[in-house]
A = this chain, B = another copy of it.
């Protein structure tokens, strides 16, 4: 039996109809393409190349099965904070896309929640199939369905157009960081 990082039913709350005209070929979360399935991250995805896929996004380093399972279990028991989703090519048994919605609990806005889209990646072999778009749109609508008052993401100015097509706008805030480790 599959062990998912969040209940798969949550993805059924996504109201896709309003956005479906933005996608070619009837692509949707329940039908992301031939041999493709969109679902929550599962414990078994360690053996399906999930960690390897992330290394196309940024530095990942060595992650042991034990580290993966520990992190998975910690996310799973964090009160609806982590919605890590993946696209699997079920013919190959391989994870070829991933994106995470992080739901942050607040006291402001009547104890509201705020959603963030993080770590969106599609394997370079699968580019051009609207999968990046599908991931962003599905998580945006999931945030809405979960009651988030606001969704946000970080991006370079050259990607403004892409994200504007999902309803995002720059709000004049900039992003400042400081690194302690690689």
Contacts and interface: CB of A to CB of B under 8 A. Distances in A.
Interface of A: 50-51, 54, 57-63, 67-68, 70-71, 74-75, 77-79, 81-82, 84, 102, 104-112, 118-119, 140, 143-144, 148-157, 160, 163-164, 166-182
B169 A63 contact: no
Contact of A107 (B54, B104, B156): B54
B155 A178 contact: no
Question: DSSP majority for the A interface?
Answer: mixed
Contacts of A107: 50-51, 54, 60, 63, 68, 71, 84, 119
Say how many copies of this protein the assembly contains.
2
Contact of A109 (B74, B108, B181): B181
Given A79-B74, A105-B75, A169 B174 contact: no
Contacts of A172: 156
A64 to B, nearest CB: 9
B74 A108 contact: no
Contacts of A182: 109, 149
